[in-house]
A and B are shown apart, each in its own frame.
Chain A
């Protein structure tokens, strides 16, 4: 982390209110993203990954979602107090976003050239012709062959991977400082996944932007992120450089995720481990560690009070008081050994 992060989220708490119910979707989430860095946000469905992304973009429904505390700073500007009009000048211009499902994230009634050009014209005062030239340049940049002709194609004429490339072209059309990729590869074939991740990586270096990569796939994290954060029930439970978190998992939940991956040699055989139970309901704030009820390493003090994040090694923090025991149990895991 450098002293001047592109994005810094500080103690962000957010809740959803719907007819008498209140769901605490994010609880004191803090992280920062340095220039040129890829930060990965990992966790299972419903843990708050996408809510974090949507909160940064200001895309959450205004009538039900409420930020109760904290700040989201983009280059020092707090995005939370901004008006809708001010947010519009940021979305697509300084932050680009790529969504999970490329099959539905493009407008079916417009050509892709028009959709990329729209993104350009929304923020830059350029002529239609220049916007189209830019659209063509972006299509070439995301490695779509025959770009000039493809500009006139409709989304349904493209494959899933190509559509995701177009989404990336749209998101990057205005040279944003930050790209938020919300599960960009989940809906794609495995071979295409690798290509898309590679493309995002290349463009990141080419354009010098930062990437917030949201995924539930630890393979994606290992392949493309610099740092990772593990999220559970709206809290960040562990964060650190990818290779350190894999080499020294220090939270019960991270350990659970790693164990549920197939191993290499001898550990490949046999049943995959799973994490028992389900994600807790988020309508009541829990006193202790939220993961304790499902944790294989939980002890008495875990449920007593919320464990504060503690430094495991440089840049590697975990909110787990049993991190020694976790690491002890994980030391002979295939994946951990291969990173150690």
Chain B
């Protein structure tokens, strides 16, 4: 053959990352936002004071040195509550994303490979999806004790069918592909076939779906706190803050604005990163983008 392999010049890792950053500013911005939120969640005690301390004398005070975003109707520090509220959102978002991915992929692959089992699983998924996710989450949350774990489980269960459907549809396509037949033709079977040939080819769509699950879990946790389900009201969370601020909306609209903007920013960052991630993980597109 006349084609001789082109020697690939490998630029340093740093310059590759810099090149990627220059051509994808939105990705870098979103990753930055996410990292900042992560740091805020991790180091909340260092950044803000006590989010639980009630001081009726200070209620609805405008911003001051002791509370830079003002105080709420119980005299609590709004800034501190917003900072600590990041923890709930991040924890719920990421836990749900991981749980949904692990469970959804396992069930989805089973449903894609087994004809009868698949039919049963899909009917169950249809049944779950027929009920609005938030309604289902409220039902689950009210069945269990209040707490973070309850919220996570209550949001995870309605999210799983989406992931199962997606994974199953991808698996149905992948298992028909010639390279899977080719893998069988060299004697690959069972778990090795799933692990090496089917699973990796579902990862792209699964990752995108996981980020969507993460984003919708963050929103769902806010909705649940807003409705007062799952977490006890004194726990600082963005949804809870918005519920509290609702009563003062006409006089102090900023109280609702702070958690609302943070929530939008975090969800937007997660969603955009998911899209970019799926491009970067596709081996064909990754080469093009230079990463």
Residues in A neighbouring B187, C-beta threshold 8 A = 88-93, 119, 122-123
Cα A232 to Cα B201 in complex, Å, equals 38
With A149-B5, A161-B1 in contact, is A59–B185 under 8 Å at CB? yes
| A68 interfacial by beta-carbon distance below 8 Å | no
Instruction: State whether the Cβ of A78 lies closer than 8 Å to any Cβ in chain B.
Output: no
Whether A171 contacts B186 by the Cβ 8 Å rule is yes
A111-145 CB contact bits vs B (8 Å, 1 = yes)?
00000001100110000000000000000000111
A109 x B201 contact (CB < 8 A)? yes
Q: A57-B185, A91-B185, A99-B182 are in contact. Are A104 and B3 (CB under 8 A)?
A: no
CB distance from B199 to the nearest CB of A (A): 9
Contact B1 A97 (CB under 8 A): no
Tally A-B pairs: CB < 8 A.
98
Contacts of A159 in B (CB 8 A): 3
Contact of A104 among B177, B183, B200, B283 (CB under 8 A): B177
Q: Which of A212-250 contact B (CB under 8 A)?
A: none
Which B residue sits closest to A95, measured CB to CB?
A: B185
| A80-98 CB contacts (< 8 Å) to partner B | 84-85, 88-93, 96-97
Asked if B178 and A105 sit within 8 Å, CB to CB, the answer is yes
B178 adjacent to A101 (CB under 8 Å): yes
Interface residues as binary, B175-198 with A (CB distance below 8 Å gives 1, 0 otherwise): 001110111111111001000110
Complex alpha-carbon distance, A91 and B182, angstroms? 10
Q: Which of B1-60 contact A (CB under 8 A)?
A: 1, 3-5, 7-8
- Is A110 positioned at the interface, with any CB of B under 8 Å from its CB? yes
Minimum C-beta distance from B46 to chain A (A): 42
Q: Are B185 and A97 in contact (CB under 8 A)?
A: yes
In whole angstroms, how far apart are the Cα atoms of A300 and B287 in the complex?
65
Of the candidates A96, A146, A149, the one whose C-beta lies within 8 Å of that of B186 is A96
User: At the interface, yes or no: A156 with Cβ under 8 Å from chain B?
Assistant: yes
* Contact, CB under 8 Å: B4 / A146: yes
CB-defined contacts of A167 to chain B, threshold 8 Å: 182
Given contacts A149-B7, A153-B5, A174-B186, 14 further A-B contacts (CB under 8 A): A59-B181, A59-B185, A84-B189, A85-B189, A92-B188, A97-B185, A106-B179, A107-B179, A107-B183, A108-B201, A118-B188, A149-B8, A156-B287, A161-B3
